[in-house]
Amino acid sequence: MFRSERVVTRTARKLLQLPSSVEPPLCRRWKGIQKPFEDVIRANIGDCHATGQRPLTFIRQVIALCTYPDLMKSSDFPSDAKNRAQRILDGCGGKSIGAYSDSAGVRVIREDVARYISKRDGFPSDADNIFLSTGASDGIKSILKLAMTGESGNKRAGVMIPIPQYPLYTATIAEYNAYPIGYFLTESNNWALDMTELRRAITAARPNCQPRAIVVINPGNPTGQVLTKENIQDIIRFAKEENLLIMADEVYQHNVYAEGCAFHSFKKVLMEMGPEYSTMEMASFMSTSKGYMGECGFRGGYAEAINFDPDVKAMLVKSISAKLCSSVSGQAVMDVVVNPPQPGEPSYEVFKKEHDTVLGQLAEKAKMVTETFNSIPGITCNTVQGAMYAFPRIHLPKKAIDAAKVKGQAPDAFYCYNLLEETGICVVPGSGFGQVEGTYHFRTTILPPVEKLGEMLARFRDFHVRFMDKYS
């Protein structure tokens, strides 16, 4: 079968979108070279729509109405979508989503976000603490920047980040010449955070930096774990002892699948821990790109800045103002996410059905991926409790590791490269996220449609068996 250059280089480009130390082995031109597979399966990036998920009708109706208000006259659009759109437009300058919003976002949307958080946690949230952002990444960068700026004697600011981690963090820390304090997640305990390890990491880093913040990703990326309430309490206690800003990356808060698991927001846990803790500084991040909606391209997101000193918050406003504002259509998507159709509204049934279908399928795929990988000799995989990824460990034979060295590649990059070459399956080597020295992993999304995912896992199994045979 003939493989055109185009798809593979596009895949390579996508891989390169990960702002990581991922090796770029796929960049070279494969012009006209035949490949032993029909198509490339892109399991390398959490891009829901690109892998076949359909946008939710209600979200798109509201955004289309905001974009082209002539549609308000159309009988094809339900009244609740029209009401949502009109409310957003009324909050925009000139009633147009083409006007700049305040730097922090359209006021009415920030109020809706605050209401959503209050309802979720049972603790009040203030619209003045909500900052709408260009995806969660932009909010994370803005707050991280703030934490890394300012005098710490002559020391660089230190930011604790999980290993494995989402590469945005290392990239941003590097950009601002801060110091990354990597703490290892415990693979043998389903990627939980271990307090001994946090203490080890901060103690080891202290001579080199002034620790300022701790990043926690829950549910986890790339690791797919969902933290227990007790684990979160421990982290909060640790952050208090060490006087760290907690940065809770909670973009997968809707993505919890495993039985017995539940999403506990850091804010809720903090507030429940009483007055000794409830005044701690914390930021939480959310996105329109994940959850059941998967609206990545709209670049909607928010940060909630909790208990920030007013001067710091003023500086935050100032620092984001050079960007003017985030995309107002992305803000509008976020509004629908935090203010979805309610029972009794005309769109409720369709919305609920679409919502439940997406999350139901994700749960099914999470199980399927975990079970399949664990059934393959030489691969072990923690339960995908949440988020959109599995991070299986590959137990590579010495001969494979040596072969990788000869090619100047990380062993897991070598493995993933061979996987892509032989099967068209594109996943990301664990070395792009960080891992315990001498262990090897890869990240795969669980996003392809069920049937496609089945095919992918079958191709994977075949490849893995061949690979292990070859290098045993």
Is 294 near a copy of itself (CB under 8 A)? Answer: yes
Please select the residue that binds a copy of itself; options are 7, 30, 37, 50, rule is CB under 8 A: 50
Are 300 and 333 in contact by the 8 Å Cβ rule? The answer is yes
3-state secondary structure of 418: helix
Are 59 and 327 in contact by the 8 Å Cβ rule? The answer is no
For residues 150 and 156, what is the distance between their CA atoms, to the nearest angstrom?
Answer: 10
Choices 259-267, 291-299, 302-310, 360-368; region in contact with a copy of itself by CB under 8 A: 291-299
Name the minimum Å distance from CB 233 to a copy of itself: 31
Choices 64-72, 155-163, 427-435, 453-461; region in contact with a copy of itself by CB under 8 A: 64-72
Is 100 near a copy of itself (CB under 8 A)? Answer: yes
Please select the residue that binds a copy of itself; options are 71, 127, 261, 368, rule is CB under 8 A: 71
Tokens for 446?
């669980």
Is 325 near a copy of itself (CB under 8 A)? Answer: yes
Choices 317-325, 335-343, 370-378, 454-462; region in contact with a copy of itself by CB under 8 A: 317-325
Our CA dihedral for 104, 109, 114, 118, rounded to 10 degrees, sits at: -160
Q: Which of 113, 108, 71, 111 minimizes the C-alpha distance to 93?
A: 108
Choices 151-159, 181-189, 322-330, 336-344; region in contact with a copy of itself by CB under 8 A: 322-330
For residues 120 and 135, what is the distance between their CA atoms, to the nearest angstrom?
Answer: 21
Are 256 and 386 in contact by the 8 Å Cβ rule? The answer is yes
Nearer to a copy of itself, 42 or 393 (CB): 42
Total Cβ atoms within 10 A of residue 40: 20
3-state secondary structure of 80: helix
* Buried/exposed code over 83-100 (b: 16+ C-beta within 10 A; e: otherwise): ebbbbbbebbeeeebeee
Please select the residue that binds a copy of itself; options are 25, 219, 224, 330, rule is CB under 8 A: 330
Please select the residue that binds a copy of itself; options are 44, 103, 255, 284, rule is CB under 8 A: 103
Name the minimum Å distance from CB 324 to a copy of itself: 6
Name the minimum Å distance from CB 326 to a copy of itself: 7
Is 52 near a copy of itself (CB under 8 A)? Answer: yes
Q: Which long-range contacts (CB under 8 A, 24 or more apart) does 273-278 make?
A: 273/233, 273/236, 276/240, 277/236, 277/237, 277/240, 278/307
Q: Respond yes or no on whether the N-terminal peptide bond of residue 164 is cis (omega within 30° of 0).
A: yes
Cα dist. 14→9, 55, 135, 392, 451 in Å? 9, 21, 17, 21, 23
For residues 221 and 165, what is the distance between their CA atoms, to the nearest angstrom?
Answer: 7
Nearer to a copy of itself, 229 or 323 (CB): 323
Is 329 near a copy of itself (CB under 8 A)? Answer: yes
Name the minimum Å distance from CB 447 to a copy of itself: 10
Is 395 near a copy of itself (CB under 8 A)? Answer: no
Name the minimum Å distance from CB 342 to a copy of itself: 22
Is 128 near a copy of itself (CB under 8 A)? Answer: no
Nearer to a copy of itself, 66 or 468 (CB): 66
Name the minimum Å distance from CB 5 to a copy of itself: 13
Interface positions with a copy of itself (CB under 8 A): 10, 13-14, 16-19, 45, 47-55, 60-61, 63-64, 67-68, 70-71, 74, 76, 92-94, 96-103, 134-135, 137-138, 141, 167-168, 171-172, 175, 289, 293-299, 317-319, 321-330
